[in-house]
Chains A and B, each alone.
Chain A
Amino acid sequence: MKTPPEDHDLIRWLDDEMTAAERTAFEARLAADPVLKAEAEEMRQISLSVRSHLPKEMPVPHPDFFNSQIQVRIEQMELEDRRASARPAAAGSIFSSLWMRLLAPVAAIAMVAVGWMTLRTSTASGSVVVSVYAPDPKVQATAVENVDAQATVLLLEGLEAMPADQNVAGLTVHHAETDSQLATTTLYDGAGQVLLVMGKDARNQPLIFSHGSPRG
Chain B
Amino acid sequence: MRSKAPATLALLLAALNCVALPVGAQTSVQAPTAPPITATGKLAATDGKVWGALVYAVADKSKLTGATEKAPDLIPDLAERLAKAFPFTDFEILGQHTQDVFREYESWVVPSPELFLKVDSKGPADGGGLNLHLQFWRQQKVLVKTDTILRTGSPLFIRGPKWRDGQLIFILALKSVGGK
Closest Cβ–Cβ distance, residue B82 to chain A (whole Å):
7
Q: Is B176 an interface residue (CB 8 A)?
A: no
Number of interface residues of A (CB under 8 A): 76
Determine which of A143, A204, A205, A216 lies in contact with B146 in the assembled complex, contact meaning CB atoms within 8 Å: A143
Q: Which residues of A contact B96 (CB under 8 A)?
A: 170-173
- Given A156-B160, A204-B29, A178–B153 Cβ distance below 8 Å? no
Q: Is A10 an interface residue (CB 8 A)?
A: no
Closest Cβ–Cβ distance, residue B28 to chain A (whole Å):
10
Number of interface residues of B (CB under 8 A): 87
- Given A152-B148, A172-B69, A203-B29, A127–B9 Cβ distance below 8 Å? no
Render B77-102 as a binary contact track against A, CB cut-off 8 A, 1 for contact: 00001101100000001111111100
Determine which of A125, A151, A184, A199 lies in contact with B157 in the assembled complex, contact meaning CB atoms within 8 Å: A151
Determine which of B10, B31, B125, B139 lies in contact with A216 in the assembled complex, contact meaning CB atoms within 8 Å: B139
In the bound complex, CA of A130 to CA of B145 (Å)? 11
Q: Which residues of B contact A133 (CB under 8 A)?
A: 144-146
Determine which of B21, B35, B93, B154 lies in contact with A183 in the assembled complex, contact meaning CB atoms within 8 Å: B35
**Contacts between the two chains (Cβ within 8 Å), count:** 276
In the complex, which residues 167-206 of chain A have their Cβ closer than 8 Å to any Cβ of chain B? 168-173, 175-176, 178-187, 189, 193-206
Render B137-170 as a binary contact track against A, CB cut-off 8 A, 1 for contact: 1011111111111110111111111111000100
Asked if residues A185 and B108 are in contact (CB atoms below 8 Å), the reply is yes
Asked if residues A214 and B36 are in contact (CB atoms below 8 Å), the reply is no
Asked if residues A207 and B16 are in contact (CB atoms below 8 Å), the reply is yes
Render B39-82 as a binary contact track against A, CB cut-off 8 A, 1 for contact: 00000000000000010100000000001010000000000011
Asked if residues B146 and A168 are in contact (CB atoms below 8 Å), the reply is no
In the bound complex, CA of A199 to CA of B97 (Å)? 17
Q: Which residues of B contact A135 (CB under 8 A)?
A: 142, 145
Q: Is A164 an interface residue (CB 8 A)?
A: yes
Asked if residues B151 and A127 are in contact (CB atoms below 8 Å), the reply is yes
Closest Cβ–Cβ distance, residue A164 to chain B (whole Å):
5
Determine which of B20, B36, B139 lies in contact with A180 in the assembled complex, contact meaning CB atoms within 8 Å: B36
Closest Cβ–Cβ distance, residue A192 to chain B (whole Å):
10
Q: Which residues of A contact B14 (CB under 8 A)?
A: 182-184, 199
Q: Is A114 an interface residue (CB 8 A)?
A: no
Q: Which residues of A contact B3 (CB under 8 A)?
A: 193-194, 210-212
What are 13 A-B pairs with beta-carbon distances under 8 A? Answer: A125-B151, A132-B145, A133-B144, A134-B143, A139-B144, A156-B159, A159-B161, A169-B94, A170-B93, A171-B113, A184-B10, A209-B9, A214-B13
Binding site for A on B (CB under 8 A): 1-6, 8-14, 16-17, 20-21, 25-26, 29-31, 33-37, 54, 56, 67, 69, 81-82, 84-85, 93-100, 105, 107-108, 110-116, 118, 125-127, 129, 136-137, 139-151, 153-164, 168, 174
